[in-house]
Structure 1
Amino acid sequence: MADAVKAKEALLEAQSGLQKFFDNSAGYVIFPNVGKGGFIIGGASGNGVVYEGNQVVGMAGLKKLNVGLQAGGQAIIEVIFFETHVDLNRFKEGKFQFAAETSAVALKSGIAFNAKYKEGVAVFALPKAGLMADASVGGQKFSYKPIIM
């Protein structure tokens, strides 16, 4: 959870335009350390924290396996914002995955101010280290485990 707090700070430092998403979304999940890598066959994985409003409600897992032209490795911060409670509940119920062609908005490009939700979600990625020519998040599968307070 401490990594998620630091990741949120890094996201806002890289792109202050994300503040409107943090303030206005029904919820979000921050994956502070998504590792991506591959050579022809690739994958990604990470663990994250799920927020409803600004309250922690659970933990999430991310997995992706893909085949195709790719090479390299990268560590990123990924955040997924949910526009409505229906969208957030879909994620919590395990009924959420990205379409194959979905890509994240790379925050280095500085376009968070104009970014919009697509099908109830907005996805942003901030590279931490490494080099990989792939911004796709399509095919990612998620797990959710609520935190009982």
Structure 2
Amino acid sequence: MKVISKNLYLPILTLLLLVISGCGPTKNTSEDLVSDSVDAKATITAKHPEMAELFATSKGYAIFPNVGKGAYIVGGASGNGTVYENGRMVGYADLKQVDIGLQIGGKAFIEVLFFQTQTALDDFKDGSYQLSGNVSAVILEEGASKDVEFNNGIAVVTMPKAGAMAGVSVGGQRFEFFPTN
């Protein structure tokens, strides 16, 4: 029984180390991050024109252009992004996620949080913010459009970039906000 436990824990610990050290984007300058965010917004609106209205009508949004996720039973994701209020950049944010379940693989994706109300945006900008595991994201896929629903003033939209991942997991995301001034 000890051999099975050792054989299970070693891959999990190795994966967690890799996820923590390398799953997020490389250390870019703030200009690179802003450029990547602008490109991600353009990609989303070009492939899914219905998203342009959300960008225009939301009180604000946070774009994470390069989120990386890896998993082998225990998974983790990380990414950096930019935060906008009324179309003007007001800061940066970090995304961290840990989840557990029947899952394996790795992927890269774009994630956008849309804030329907000023209160939801202000709560996010207060510093440390969490999305529980029961908040579902709309996954934008090629050739398919989906309606975006807000939950407590926030809607989450993701768009795959690369990778393959299979499984079902439960977890949540944590965000840190850093104002530009």
TM normalised by structure 1 equals 0.92
Per the alignment, do residues 138 and 66 of structure 1 end up closer, same or farther by CA in structure 2, a change over 3 Å counting?
closer
- In structure 2, the partner of 1:119 is 152
Over alpha carbons, which structure has the higher Rg?
Answer: 2
Please give the residue correspondences for 1:85-124 in structure 2 after superposition, counting only pairs within 5 Å: 85-94=118-127, 96-108=129-141, 110-112=144-146, 114-124=147-157
Change in CA separation of 1:36 and 1:132 when aligned onto 2, cut-off 3 Å: same
Higher relative contact order (CA 8 A, sep 6+): 1
Partner of 1:14: 47
Q: TM-score, normalised by structure 2?
A: 0.76
Question: What's the counterpart of residue 69 of structure 2?
Answer: 36
Query: What is the number of residues matched between the two proteins?
Result: 147
2:157, 2:170 → 1: CA distance? 10
Spell out, residue by residue over 1:43-89, the C-alpha distance to the aligned partner (whole angstroms, 9 max, x if none): 00000000001100000000011222110000000000000111000
Greater per-residue helix proportion? 2
List runs of 5+ in structure 2 lacking aligned partners.
1-33
* Alpha-carbon contact 2:65-2:111 (below 8 Å) kept: yes
Once the two structures are overlaid, the 10-residue window that deviates more, 99-108 or 122-131, is: 99-108
Alignment-derived partner of residue 95 in structure 2? 62
